[in-house]
Chain A
Amino acid sequence: MSDAATGRVTATQPPTATPPDGIRRIRMPQRLRNLEFWLLLVACVINAGAIVLVQLGALGHIDTQLVLLGAGLSVLVFALHIVMRFVARDADPFLLPIATVLNGLGIAEIYRIDIAFGDSGWESASVRQIAWSGIAIIAAIATILLIRNHRVLFRYTYLSGLVAIVLLLLPLVPGLGEEINGARVWISIGSFASFQPGEIAKIALAVFFAGYLVRNRDSLSMVGTKFLGMRFPRARDLGPLLIVWALSMAVIVFQRDLGTALLYFGLFLVMLYVATSRLSWVVLGLSLFLAGALIASQTLDYVHARFQNWLEPFSDGRYDADPGGSYQLVQGLFGLANGGLIGTGLGRGSPDITPVPQSDYIIASLGEELGLAGLFAIFALYVLLVARGFRIGFAGQDDFGKLLGVGLAFVVALQVFIVVGGVTRVIPLTGLTTPFLAAGGSSLVANWIIVALLLRLSDTVRNHPRLVIDG
């Protein structure tokens, strides 16, 4: 384990320390930030354009009110940009514009669906989404400002683990939890909104996994018996894997949320693999999870139904089954097919036929109106976002930072895969939000914090060029 992973902020690396008088004016031109500025400008223009196109397509005229609300968000995003000019000068210039454009496209499509539903004002999902975006971006600014060095988080490894578990258990507390669409993953905060604490929990989990694995990687990776060409861990080292597995299974059984369970478990496995470089963990973990999922699909009705819908969505029996039938899945496919290669154009499709087109099915809605071309662009943005995260992992200096960067990037990738893969029949459909795009405050806040953490990590990486290249 390298020294850098001890999490101590030493005086020898003052990225924000006040330089002595006289040097202040001789500043390096902020090339990365300037690039970010122009990209952000493009992102905001795309977002404003998307909203205007929605209005022209669905309303036939331009309504300045929502454009103004959207402009408010642009101001916040630029505020984040300016903050970074001071506290994270060398951060990755692509992350913020990508998050901005995805968030904006999501708002435009949610707004388009509000128009179809006839919702307006505070009742409409788009206005709430804009409000939540504001909160999320402010949370990102706060994260950047508060966490000046990611190694601080290393100190809170076990606290993060505790926070994650508490957040996960919250929806099960009587009186606080709320069941929506059969999944018990929400808590209600007054009449304002429902909150999905599991979204925030994934960040806490990533921090916990990174910290825990960096601390214990030796015992997890070095010892064990060799079998079938792979070194398998000792029984007593299986503890963490079994605990996370049990946690995932509990999420499936008690919260009825397959997607979240898959997300947490996948995140853990990947981080475990990166930390220990032992494939045997992955083999063990995947076998455990598949066994669990298989048992769940045989014993839990809702899981069984999900598998049936996946295998034969077009059969009349599945299509007409209510609840738990494949109606939504099939309508989503119809929507995507309707979009074809180039889409119907914003505001000109019929995404509102599909149930919950603004949250779980936002990708089908976008696919219908922007077509395969639009979806490819969106996927490319995700790929770029995830790649920037992995880049931090590759270039990172300390193991904790590397693991955290990879974990955060992978959790975004895995979440996109689970939800979009579910909508497009790659895997059985599970309820999860599409990062940045889907309507939902908790998801937005979580993903913007992830972006803030990645920005912070990338800033550290650039500030401290690696001297040692390890294999």
Chain B
Amino acid sequence: MNRELKRVSIVALLMFTALFVSTTIIQYFAADSLAADPRNSRTLYASYSVERGPILVDGTPVAFSQASDDDYKFLRVYPNGPLYAAVTGYIPVNGEATGLESSLNDYLSGQDSSQFFDKINRLISGQDPMGASVDVAIDPVAQQAAWDALGDDTGAVIVTEPATGRILAMVTKPTFDPNTLVSHDTDQVEATYEGLLADPSDPLFNRATGGDMNPPGSVFKLVVTAAALESGRYTPESTFPNPGQLTLPGTDSIVINSGGGTCGSGATVTLADALRLSCNIPFAELGMELGDDAIREQAEKFGFNQAFDIPTPTEESVYPRGLDEPQTALSAFGQYTVRATPLQMAVVSAAIANGGIVMNPNLVDGVTAPDFTPLEGFKPTEFGRAISESTAKTMTEMMTNGVESGAASNARIDGVSVAGKTGTAENGEDDPYTLWFTGFAPADNPQYAITVLVEDGGGLGQEGYGNLIAAPIAKQVLEAVLNK
């Protein structure tokens, strides 16, 4: 009987071994992935009980936790809330966090596995748990300038550092005060949130990285120009027929240049002039010659059709698949179903400024544990090469001409050469235009890449255009940062 007993006791031991193993797997090996499951509300709750780390701009907190006397223990405070709302996001007590508060929640709440030993140390030494602090790349001067320059327009401004991809300014308007969404009066937060959600101007959208995606219009001509130059079959001096209007093959659709008429006075027009004057007909012709695959390939090298994490997730900009010839013609000047975020256009400009190499756009400089040890570097990373160095150089000259003597003249700054491209994109038949500017300065030694988006025609309906509304905003921001 004892032999059987021994076997049964081994079976019992094996059963317990299975439990030891299964709990170890769940509580140790799979703990991080379970915590990251979006359905896991505990991760959010856990973030209340610790003193959440601050989000710092140039050493000054734009989000920090303040001890409060209620169950939540800490109140999140956003000094200068609306100005940084697009960067910080917010973390409500009974809802989903957004922005960096969400994407870096593990660090801010001290739950990241890299903070495990720090947590143990604090536990043993009797200190309260504390989250890590996040240094963002935002330059307060650029951010304030972008905020001021955008004024009351609906839209976004984004400034990046071409060599690194660091995001120096990110402003979206209309916006909201995150403080109103993190109050511990949950009923009031609910009401505020519902109000913001119902607001037709969509203040909760981050138009710099998403929202209702806009057609890029003429700023997309940069991508098509890049595709043309990269093909080796075109130079800036390549010429195109210059009619007053173009009927797309197999359709009744007619393409005209903005303002009507031909592109300059000649019978033909060069690629350089077409870009400088932002003419639609030559680009429609070029687009049809290149074909949609070549344009898509170039667009994807710039980051289209995939989403950047900055590390907050962003919307992906779209160059559609399977276009026929007339659709390709329309998409060649950024219409039809091409969609782009200001972030994506900033990446395009920054890549041209950076000799053709696309840097991943990034909001965060670093994360620092409560004991001041750096946790993660957030070093600049390359997305890839979009265009050759010579193409980049050629395009910089073309864009500089656009500002010097072309359609982007309102971005001109005395004493500094600015490279830029404007855009005026059509939406519906009678809908107001979407206005764009993207570019960088100084053109010979690029420090800042900037993209401006203004929706609703800047309040002028179909009277507004990129050079009138968007270019001056870019100019104002660039002046502020260059004069620092």
Contact = CB atoms under 8 A, between A and B. Distances in A.
Interface of A: 270, 273-275, 277, 314, 319, 330, 333-342, 344, 348-350, 353, 367, 371-372, 375-376, 379, 382-383, 386-387, 390, 393-394, 399, 402, 406, 409-410, 413-414, 416-417, 420-421, 424-426, 470-471
Nearest to B33: A337
A319 to B, nearest CB: 7
A424 B26 contact: yes
Nearest to B2: A394
Interface of A is mostly: helix
Contacts of B7: 273
Interface in B204-255: none
Interface of B is mostly: helix
Contact of A273 (B4, B24, B27, B30): B4
B41 A383 contact: no
B22 A425 contact: yes
B1 A274 contact: yes
A212 to B, nearest CB: 16
Interface stretch (B10-18, B184-192, B290-298): B10-18
A350 B26 contact: no
Contact of A375 (B2, B5, B15, B23): B23
Nearest to A403: B1
Contacts, number: 129
B16 A337 contact: no
B46 interface: yes
Given A270-B8, A413-B12, 12 more contacts: A274-B5, A334-B41, A337-B26, A341-B27, A341-B28, A348-B49, A372-B24, A375-B23, A375-B27, A390-B9, A417-B16, A471-B2
Interface in B281-323: none
B34 A426 contact: no
Given A336-B26, A375-B23, A393 B31 contact: no
Contact of B4 (A274, A349, A386, A413): A274
Nearest to B12: A413
12 contacts: A334-B42, A335-B42, A338-B43, A340-B27, A353-B41, A383-B13, A390-B8, A390-B9, A416-B15, A424-B23, A426-B18, A471-B3
Interface residues of B, number: 37
Nearest to B27: A372
Nearest to B123: A342
B35 interface: yes
A334 B34 contact: yes
Contact of B12 (A335, A341, A390, A420): A390
Contacts of B39: 319, 330, 334
B129 to A, nearest CB: 10
B19 A421 contact: yes
A319 B9 CA distance: 37
B194 interface: no
Closest A-B pairs by Cβ, 5 of them: A337-B34, A424-B22, A417-B15, A372-B27, A337-B31
A390 B22 contact: no
Contact of B22 (A275, A376, A426): A426
A389 to B, nearest CB: 9
A410 B12 contact: yes
A335 B123 CA distance: 20
A379 B45 CA distance: 28
B125 interface: no
Contacts of B18: 417, 421, 426
B430 interface: no
A410 B42 contact: no
A20 B5 CA distance: 40
Contact of A372 (B4, B23, B42): B23
Contacts of B371: none
Contacts of A390: 5, 8-9, 12
Given A336-B27, A371-B27, A314 B5 contact: no
Nearest to A390: B9
B27 A277 contact: no
B40 interface: yes
A381 to B, nearest CB: 11
B438 to A, nearest CB: 39
Contact of B23 (A367, A386, A414): A367
